[in-house]
Each structure stands twice: as structure tokens, then as C-alpha cells.
Chain A
Amino acid sequence: KNQVEQSPQSLIILEGKNCTLQCNYTVSPFSNLRWYKQDTGRGPVSLTIMTFSENTKSNGRYTATLDADTKQSSLHITASQLSDSASYICVVTTSPGGGNKLTFGTGTQLKVEL
């Protein structure tokens, strides 16, 4: 069964600190992996998208890594800001028969405090 598991479920850090969120998946066949940020009351916004051949991608203070062998991804946030408080969702896409199927993780709820 295709699954995406994220850890931790929730996390509280102080402003300015770094943190790393984890995503493990069993989805096959793999097409790409995305990290989304979802602010409270809003739709998800894409942070990074990585294909099989990419093992790291950055977007400002966000850096995602992908290990396709171990089927693990991480999202590292550097010098956290209060505005980073949100839910971070890992999504893995398969492309069976040319279509796209997305499997979503349940997210990591991050809170950044003063």
C-alpha cells in the first residue's frame, strides 16, 4: 500500500533556530516528491519539487533532500521565523499509466515562538 509518513507530528522551536522535518514513503513507482507549506486557514503552497535524480533542492531558507534508495526526504528550515509557523506536508506522486496519483503525508505542525 502506498504510504507517506511524516515526523514529528508537531514541533515547537524558538525563533532563529534550525529544524528538520522527516518524510518516509513507500510509494511506487516514484515520480516526484513535493513539500508544501500550509498556513492556517489557507491552501497549501509548494515549497520544493524533486524528481528521482535530484537529491537536494533549496528555496530560500528551506532545503529539501531526497534519498530515493532509502525512500526518505527531509525539509530543513534555517534561521526560523515566526512566519514559518504552519503545517508542512510531504506529497509523493506516482505516474501509473501516464496519470498522476498523489499520496499525502498527514503533515508536521511547526510552531515558531519568540
Chain B
Amino acid sequence: DARVTQTPRHKVTEMGQEVTMRCQPILGHNTVFWYRQTMMQGLELLAYFRNRAPLDDSGMPKDRFSAEMPDATLATLKIQPSEPRDSAVYFCASGLIQAPQGEQFFGPGTRLTVL
């Protein structure tokens, strides 16, 4: 059955290291979202792609975060350099722009710990 997949599921790294998180959206979906979830802030939208083009990345710290879609089957979120405050669960979601009310389907998340 069609699902959003994310890798890795868990990542522990040291401050200053580069972190790359990957997402495979559901085949045929034309919108991709990156979210960050923490206990304090809940879910926050970091970036939004439509047909692989970045539409909104205003929620993302530009100095260290970057999001790309090199092709329709892969979305990446990079943090360089990582900091302890980046520790969170990062979710990718995909959907169809023409779907009713733009429903999104979430992946299982990447749990990032920066020491």
C-alpha cells in the first residue's frame, strides 16, 4: 500500500555535523511538506514544494537548513551545521494539490538528536 517513507528513522550526531534526511513521497503526489515536531512547539511547517518547486520555506532557518527535490521521488532536508536545538522529529508529508481540501499523508518521521 502507498506510503511516505523517510530515512533514517533515527539519527544521533554531534553538534557541527551535517545531517541529511530523505523522504520518498507517495508516487504521483505533487506536493511535499517538511515539518518539525518538538514537545515545546508542536508541529511546525518548515518547507512546502509543489511540483518539485519550493513554494514556501519561510518556516526554515535559512542559514543552516536547506530543502530540495532533486526528482519527483526524493525530497531532502539538510542541516549544516547542526546544533542541539535542532533535536526534534522531522516529518515529511505528501499530497495532491487537486485533492479535496489538500489532504496530506505523513511519513513515520526521522528522530534527530544533536549532542
Complex Cα distance A41/B91, Å?
A: 11
Q: B102, A42: Cβ atoms under 8 Å?
A: no
| CB-nearest residue of chain A to B111 | A41
A94-113 Cβ-contact flags toward B at 8 Å (1 or 0) = 00000111101111000000
Contact A32 B101 (CB under 8 A): yes
Chain B residues, CB < 8 A from A99: 48, 55-56
- List, in ascending order, chain A residues with CB within 8 A of B109's CB: 41-43
| A66 sits at the interface (CB 8 A) | no
Interface residue ranges of A24-49 to B (CB < 8 Å): 31-32, 34, 41-46, 49
Residues of chain B from 81 to 101 with CB closer than 8 A to chain A in the complex: 91, 93, 100-101
Write the B23-52 contact mask toward A (1 if CB under 8 angstroms, else 0): 000000000000000000111110010000
Name the residue on B nearest A87 (C-beta): B42
Q: Is A93 an interface residue (CB 8 A)?
A: yes
- Interface SS majority for chain B: strand
If the complex has contacts A102-B45, A104-B44, are A46 and B104 also in contact, measured as CB distance less than 8 A?
yes
Q: How many residues of A contact B (CB 8 A)?
A: 22
Q: Is the CB of B42 within 8 A of A104?
A: yes
B93–A93 touching, CB < 8 Å: no
- Kindly state whether residue A51 has any CB partner on chain B within 8 Å: yes
Taking a contact as CB atoms under 8 Å apart, the answer to whether B107 and A43 are in contact is yes
Interface residues of B, Cβ cutoff 8 Å to A = 4, 41-45, 48, 55-56, 91, 93, 100-109
